[in-house]
Homo-oligomer: A and B are copies of this chain.
Amino acid sequence: MAGSSFGSIFRLTSFGESHGLAIGGVVDGVPAGIRIDLEKIQIDLDKRKPGQSKLVTQRKESDTVQLLSGLLDGVTTGTPIGFIIKNEDQHSSDYDHLKDAYRPSHADYTYQQKYGIRDHRGGGRSSARETACRVAAGSIAKQILESLGIEFSTYVDQIGSVKLDDNSFFLSDAIESNVVRCPDNHIAEKMIELVEQVRAEGDTIGGCVKCMIVNVPVGLGEPVFDKLHADLGKAMFSINAVKGVEFGSGFSSVSKKGSENNDQILPNGETSTNNSGGIQGGISNGMPIEFRVAFKPVATIMKDQNSINDQGEEILIKGKGRHDPCVVPRAVAIVEAMAAMVILDHYLRNKATKI
């Protein structure tokens, strides 16, 4: 009810603030008998962590995950996997000037009003640091899905107005070939140029992450409220800074006619087009699941901004400290992790559809 759990059967419950002793979580509902590779979890965490390139925040965090339970000799036992990621590189005093300040488009004001108390250091619970727990749990989910042949292709397909127009299933090598995680190096260069320019201005810029999932069995998703894309949609909107989500032909379907947008079913059960984004009536149809996630520009900028403090007095928020000019390349790992948890959860839920 307080919203720190995600999923029905495969279920992550997370905890932790930016500047406490540790963040972490419990992954319950992990099927028994699956070998988990700790290094793969770390690789995913490293994709999310700050300080990877000059395009993202220079804050240093090793983000090392420690699994505390649920495995016997590297194999899942069906019992919950507890894990922690210790907080490091905390300069809590860096945030003293923000103790009473409400930063624009941050969660400072809303947390204070909701709880009457707020851990202001590094954004507290509202910090995107929390998403490291999602990446750890999602990486476990991905390894289980991998054993079923289900694969992900997640990448940056837009930064500012620079957009990739290519709907291929890109492999990890292509995606990881540059710092913005856009699999087309030509477009990637333009994106990098844009981000550097924005960074030089002390400003930030938004972007879009595209996710494609293949080999998803037909039949995942529940009719009515827990449609597969409803749960994926919620998963995406739960990520910090996400302002829009679309599946298949998405917002562009609005100006299409039915005869244009319908996906013709072929004798093998596949469809000739995939405007449905791999989901019909809320249930996977075997085609690639496709969606795009829109991230607003990061709210923390290196420019001075007018705001108020907790007394309602006007103040000036000075632009200083470390910041992410564009968070989208790091968000790729988070989008993929959340998607993986949803797909695995619905895979497990679907097992009860028949006796």
Cβ-defined contact, A114 with B264, below 8 A: no
The residue that A261 contacts in the complex, of B105, B266, B276, with Cβ under 8 A, is B105
Cβ-defined contact, B26 with A26, below 8 A: yes
Query: Which among A22, A76, A118, A119 has the greatest number of chain B C-beta atoms within 10 A?
Result: A119
A297 to chain B, nearest CB (A): 4
Known: A9-B352, A264-B307. A79 touches B296 (CB 8 A): no
Cβ-defined contact, A281 with B106, below 8 A: yes
Cβ-defined contact, B244 with A110, below 8 A: no
A28-36, A57-65, A175-183: which lies at the B interface?
Answer: A28-36
Cβ-defined contact, B223 with A227, below 8 A: no
The residue that A225 contacts in the complex, of B5, B33, B160, with Cβ under 8 A, is B5
Cβ-closest chain B residue relative to A130: B224
Cβ-defined contact, B256 with A251, below 8 A: no
A165-173, A184-192, A229-237: which lies at the B interface?
Answer: A229-237
Known: A115-B77, A223-B125. A296 touches B218 (CB 8 A): no
Cβ-defined contact, A107 with B77, below 8 A: no
A202 to chain B, nearest CB (A): 8
Interface residues of A, CB < 8 Å — how many?
156
In the bound complex, how far is the Cα of B68 from the Cα of A130, in angstroms? 13
A38-46, A47-55, A308-316: which lies at the B interface?
Answer: A308-316
Q: Which residues of B contact A253 (CB under 8 A)?
A: 206, 243-244, 294-297
Interface residues of A in 110-153 (CB under 8 A from B): 110-111, 113-119, 124-126, 130, 144, 147-148
In the bound complex, how far is the Cα of B13 from the Cα of A79, in angstroms? 12
In the bound complex, how far is the Cα of B244 from the Cα of A275, in angstroms? 12
Cβ-defined contact, B144 with A355, below 8 A: yes
The residue that A275 contacts in the complex, of B105, B117, B240, B307, with Cβ under 8 A, is B105
In the bound complex, how far is the Cα of B355 from the Cα of A75, in angstroms? 13
In the bound complex, how far is the Cα of B218 from the Cα of A118, in angstroms? 15
Q: Which residues of B contact A201 (CB under 8 A)?
A: 257
In the bound complex, how far is the Cα of B227 from the Cα of A240, in angstroms? 10
The verdict on A24 contacting chain B, using a C-beta distance below 8 Å, is: yes
The verdict on A329 contacting chain B, using a C-beta distance below 8 Å, is: no
A196 to chain B, nearest CB (A): 14
The residue that A280 contacts in the complex, of B105, B264, B271, with Cβ under 8 A, is B105
Known: A104-B263, A224-B3. A110 touches B15 (CB 8 A): no
Cβ-defined contact, B117 with A72, below 8 A: yes
Interface residues of A in 58-91 (CB under 8 A from B): 66, 68-70, 72, 75-82, 84
Give 22 CB contacts A-B under 8 Å: A1-B1, A2-B9, A23-B82, A25-B82, A32-B353, A105-B258, A106-B280, A106-B281, A107-B282, A130-B224, A201-B257, A204-B257, A205-B257, A206-B256, A208-B254, A233-B234, A243-B253, A246-B251, A251-B294, A262-B305, A265-B307, A349-B352
6 closest Cβ pairs, A-B complex:
A107-B281, A3-B222, A3-B226, A15-B82, A244-B246, A204-B258
